[in-house]
Amino acid sequence: MHNIDDRYKNPVFYLMRNFIQPSRCLLAVVLAAAMTGAIAAPQCIVPAKPGGGMDQTCKLAQQGLAHDAAGEAPLQIRYLPGGIGAVAWNSVVSQKRGEADTMVAFSGGSLLNLAEGKYGRARTADVRWVAAVGTDYGMIAVRSNSPYRTLRELVAAWKRNPAQVAIGAGGTIGSQDWLKVALIARQGGIDAKDLRFVAFEGGGESFTALLAGHVQAVSGDVSEAMLHAGVAQKNAAIRVLAVLSDARLPGALANVPTAREQGFDVTWPIIRGFYMGSQVSDANYRKWVTRFERAMAAPEFDRLRTEHGLYPFAMTGDALTGYVEKTVDSYGRQAKELGLVR
């Protein structure tokens, strides 16, 4: 006869002692660990819907870190869209401050949102910055059957009739996708406020709307454009009119001219990486910093980065934290100059 309280004090132990056969010991151990929370898969939160640059960032980490498992469970991807990253940010800051092994993807656009106060009274010190794994670039695209074959032609159409060309963008006024177009429009003698923007929750939705004909152009990122198979081929579904980089990009978009080549001195590099809760233990934080450092040092990571439409950039820990602080400060000054914040 066993004490009936065992069932309530430790139900897993009670089941193992009284009902599980020795031949099933391994299964019992796994069951016990799962029920007590001892096995918890690390997760990467995508602060947007599937199909955009944030999604690609988490998938790159998932694949890149698989070669450096170090006894860890595989990285799981979870989607938490809303507010162009604000929902995920607030979740980590308010509910997951000390949650180990949970990371959120971020981009240069996230840092811009911080600078503009779109995450509320948020500070860079509210989270711990783990790693930046690559650089993306802005781009402007249309459907492959669009009458606009160059960025100059598109800007000319904006000037003739701004309301005629609907532009899909991730976020509303002040978002990075909005700013890319605003800077190009200003150099073309156009007030960005006259343009017709359609706001979406991330690049995935923007491209879906473009392909469905709901918008005529998209302001987005190269990594998002690369999701469309054959983007550089004759049968591609979209046509990238310009990349917002200093020079032409290698690979599938090598034949796409920069905005500078077409008379618009606008570049928009976008770092992509991950942050964790501010109260995550130093040991857990350092573990992830070290894992990313090892992963990014491997030649295999370069190939994966390219496959996900990103370009070389690697920074972790304290160096990344300093970089983020300077970038947010710089974005804040630019936003004030454009009248986006007071």
Question: What is the per-residue pLDDT across 238-292, written as a single tens digit (0 to 9) for each?
Answer: 999 999 999 999 888 899 999 999 999 999 999 999 999 999 999 999 999 999 9
Residues 94 and 154 reside in one and the same domain:
no
> What is the CATH number for 205?
3.40.190.10
Q: Is the pLDDT of residue 82 over 70?
A: yes
Q: What percent of the chain has pLDDT over 70?
A: 85
pLDDT of residue 234: 57
Q: What is the pLDDT confidence band of residue 25, given thresholds at 50, 70 and 90?
A: very low
Region of poorest pLDDT, from 30-34, 99-103, 150-154: 30-34
Q: What is the pLDDT confidence band of residue 219, given thresholds at 50, 70 and 90?
A: very high
CA neighbor of 306 nearest in space, from 141, 134, 59, 106: 134
Q: What is the C-alpha to C-alpha distance for residues 145 and 110, in angstroms, rounded to an integer? A: 32
Residues 111 and 149 reside in one and the same domain:
no
Q: What is the pLDDT of residues 45-61, one digit of tens each?
A: 999 988 888 999 999 99
Residue with tokens 């992830």: 288
CA neighbor of 113 nearest in space, from 47, 50, 168: 47
Q: Is the pLDDT of residue 105 over 90?
A: yes
Residues 153 and 87 reside in one and the same domain:
no
Q: What is the C-alpha to C-alpha distance for residues 259 and 242, in angstroms, rounded to an integer? A: 5
pLDDT of residue 175: 87
CA neighbor of 139 nearest in space, from 273, 274, 229, 238: 238
Is 175 in contact with 112 (CB distance < 8 Å)?
yes
Residue with tokens 């081929």: 233
Residue 240 belongs to some domain of the structure: yes
Q: Is the pLDDT of residue 200 over 50?
A: yes
3-state secondary structure of 211: helix
Is 70 in contact with 103 (CB distance < 8 Å)?
no
- The mean per-residue pLDDT over the stretch 115-139 comes to 95
> What is the CATH number for 112?
3.40.190.150
Q: Is the pLDDT of residue 12 over 50?
A: no
Q: Please tell me which residue, 175 or 45, carries the higher pLDDT value.
A: 45
pLDDT of residue 224: 84
Q: What is the pTM of this model?
A: 0.76
Q: What is the pLDDT of residues 311-341, one digit of tens each?
A: 999 999 999 999 999 999 999 988 888 788 7
Residue 309 belongs to some domain of the structure: yes
Residue 342 belongs to some domain of the structure: no
Residue 332 belongs to some domain of the structure: yes
- The mean per-residue pLDDT over the stretch 146-162 comes to 96
Look up the domain containing 167 and give its range.
137-269
Q: What is the pLDDT confidence band of residue 228, given thresholds at 50, 70 and 90?
A: low
Residues 73 and 220 reside in one and the same domain:
no
Q: How many domains does the chain have?
A: 3
Q: Is the pLDDT of residue 208 over 70?
A: yes
Q: What is the pLDDT confidence band of residue 24, given thresholds at 50, 70 and 90?
A: very low
Q: What is the C-alpha to C-alpha distance for residues 317 and 286, in angstroms, rounded to an integer? A: 8
Alpha helices in 10-150 (DSSP H): 11-18, 25-36, 53-65, 86-94, 108-115
Quote the mean pLDDT of the chain. Answer: 86
